[in-house]
Amino acid sequence: MYSASPLLLSTSATLLAGDRVFVGNQPDDFAVGPLAGPADTVCVLGLGYGGSLRPLLAASPASRITAVDLDPDMVTVTRALFRQHFPGTDFRTQVADASVFLEGSERYDLVVIDIYAGESYPDFVLTEPFWRGVRGAVAPGGTALLNAWGLPEHLRPLTPPSPQHLLAGLLTPLWPHATYLSCRRNMTVVLRDTREDDPAETLRGAEAGRGTRLSPVDEAVLALQRLRLVRAADFRVPADAPAGDTGRAVPRTPEQLDAEMARRWPEMLAEVRAHADAAGADASVVGSREFYRRREVAVPTTLELARHGHPAAALLPNVAAALTFGGDTSLGWYGDWIADEAESLAAEYPEWLTRTALAQALAMAANPLVPEWPWTDRLLKRTSAVTAAS
Ligand SMILES: C[S@@+](CC[C@H](N)C(=O)[O-])C[C@H]1O[C@@H](n2cnc3c(N)ncnc32)[C@H](O)[C@@H]1O
């Protein structure tokens, strides 16, 4: 699972590190596939440089993986990378267009969809025939996982117009019990026939990953994934979302999504300010970088938002983690706080803590692009206390 020689690959498609399985990015969440249901056979649509393979195998070492990618060069490079750095990792590859590959394909226990052309969805991913094909490729009782990129949790990604809203409209008729885990601007949508946990499946999920020797950080991330799956939010259009056509096109490209984020930003800030006021914190710094730097403002405001189940409670965790992926460690205090208080926060704000706050603190600890934090060991101890108690 780990490379004997140093490897750090950071591209727009993939973040891969030789000394860790989980790197704090969305493909880490594909480890929930084997926790959600059977995973003897797995089909990964969108191989990239293979960032999703080891998270899957960490949870399910015996899975037989077939990975499909349109780009023959990417497949060749990825095979060479894995041969050199992870020779014990076994997977098949196929160069094909995912939409064509699914036609008449065999069925898989788990189908993982992580397909992007450049940084946008190819058009077919946002159409119903593709999802009917995916539905047909999932074996009975199996699972599909989708990396859905777009708007972050704090900007209400399931409210239109957004790609996640469009996808919810396409997917809920096919999988009425869909749920999701959020990871900054991506979400991992979990598509299963039921969201009730069958006791046999729960037991199997609890066993998943056992027998794989993982580093302490990887072990903690995998342990939290079990809890994140149990607490995953419903993937459906919120009841208070505007009905019908909003009159605005669905943003698809990075530029369109940035513009949609900018459009939603002032309203979210006004809500954060109101919660800062209610918490008795200095609301005047909301909207500036001071907000994130001043722990005495950011913490009570965020907890006030979490107390009300407000999506903007994800703002601080998402910004703290996102900055570290740009190499900026100035919000390290956020991880330090969670490392100190995860257990009491889990008691008071269980959903926020497991869905967002602890997940993003662990993402900061797993991130290979920044030096190790002084609080990492403490965070791992608290994570095992939280996961053991749940
Ligand atoms: C974001 S990357 C996948 C990242 C990968 N899961 C990882 O974690 O390393 C998206 C991939 O989708 C592939 N892709 C784009 N269009 C495709 C298509 N029509 N069929 C198959 N693969 C496609 C691209 O070549 C690219 O490698």
If you ran DSSP here, which 8-state letter would residue 242 be given? P
* Residue 9 in tokens: 């690959």
pLDDT of residue 124: 96
Q: Are residues 265 and 207 in the same domain?
A: no
The model's pTM: 0.95
Closest atom, ligand 1, to C-alpha of 16:
9
- Tell me how far the alpha carbon of residue 117 lies from the centroid of ligand 1, in angstroms: 7
Q: Is residue 248 part of a domain?
A: no
Contact 378, 340 (CB under 8 A): yes
Residues paired with residue 110 on neighbouring β-strands, in sequence order? 42, 143
Pick from 45, 47, 103 the residue to mutate for probing ligand 1's pocket: most ligand atoms within 8 Å of its CB.
47
Rounded CA gap, 386 and 317, in Å?
Answer: 18
pLDDT tens for 11-22 read: 989 999 999 999
pLDDT tens for 271-322 read: 999 999 999 999 999 999 999 999 999 999 999 999 999 999 999 999 999 9
Q: Which own/partner contact pairs does 383-387 have at CB distance under 8 Å and 24+ positions apart? A: 383/220, 383/223, 383/224, 383/342, 383/358, 384/220, 384/223, 385/342, 385/343, 386/224, 386/227, 386/342, 386/343, 386/346, 386/353, 386/354, 386/358, 387/220, 387/223, 387/224, 387/226, 387/227
Q: What is the CATH number of the domain that holds 25?
A: 3.40.50.150
* Ligand 1 pocket check for 70: Cβ under 6 Å: yes
Final residue belonging to a domain, choices 201, 234, 267: 234
Q: Are residues 226 and 287 in the same domain?
A: no
pLDDT of residue 196: 61
Q: Are residues 92 and 225 in the same domain?
A: yes
Q: How many domains does the chain have?
A: 2
- Tell me how far the alpha carbon of residue 28 lies from the centroid of ligand 1, in angstroms: 16
Q: Are residues 282 and 326 in the same domain?
A: yes
pLDDT of residue 199: 45
Final residue belonging to a domain, choices 184, 202, 234: 234
- Tell me how far the alpha carbon of residue 129 lies from the centroid of ligand 1, in angstroms: 19
Please compute the mean of the pLDDT values over residues 158-183 and round it to a whole number. Answer: 96
Q: Are residues 170 and 310 in the same domain?
A: no
* Ligand 1 pocket check for 50: Cβ under 6 Å: yes
pLDDT tens for 84-138 read: 999 999 999 999 999 999 998 999 999 999 999 988 999 999 999 999 999 999 9
Q: Are residues 118 and 63 in the same domain?
A: yes
pLDDT of residue 247: 80
Cα dihedral 268, 273, 277, 283, rounded to 10, equals 160
Nearest to 26 by CA among 321, 315, 262: 321
Domain extent, residue 42, equals 8-234
- Tell me how far the alpha carbon of residue 245 lies from the centroid of ligand 1, in angstroms: 30
Final residue belonging to a domain, choices 234, 266, 289: 234
Q: Are residues 198 and 66 in the same domain?
A: yes
- Whether residue 382 is predicted with pLDDT greater than 80 in this model: the reply is yes
Q: Is residue 3 part of a domain?
A: no
Pick from 10, 70, 120 the residue to mutate for probing ligand 1's pocket: most ligand atoms within 8 Å of its CB.
70
Nearest to 312 by CA among 273, 340, 278, 284: 273
User: Helix (H, G, I), strand (E, B), or coil: what is residue 244?
Assistant: coil
Q: Are residues 332 and 218 in the same domain?
A: no
pLDDT tens for 27-70 read: 999 999 999 999 999 999 999 999 999 999 999 999 999 999 99
Please compute the mean of the pLDDT values over residues 70-94 and round it to a whole number. Answer: 97
* Position 198 confidence tier, pLDDT thresholds 50, 70, 90: low
- Tell me how far the alpha carbon of residue 99 lies from the centroid of ligand 1, in angstroms: 12
pLDDT of residue 362: 98
Q: Is residue 245 part of a domain?
A: no
Q: Is residue 261 part of a domain?
A: yes
pLDDT of residue 193: 87
Nearest 5°: the CA angle 79, 84, 89 is 65
196 vs 328, higher pLDDT: 328
Identify the residue whose C-alpha is closest to ligand 1 atom 17: 70
Identify the residue whose C-alpha is closest to ligand 1 atom 7: 51
* Ligand 1 pocket check for 52: Cβ under 6 Å: yes
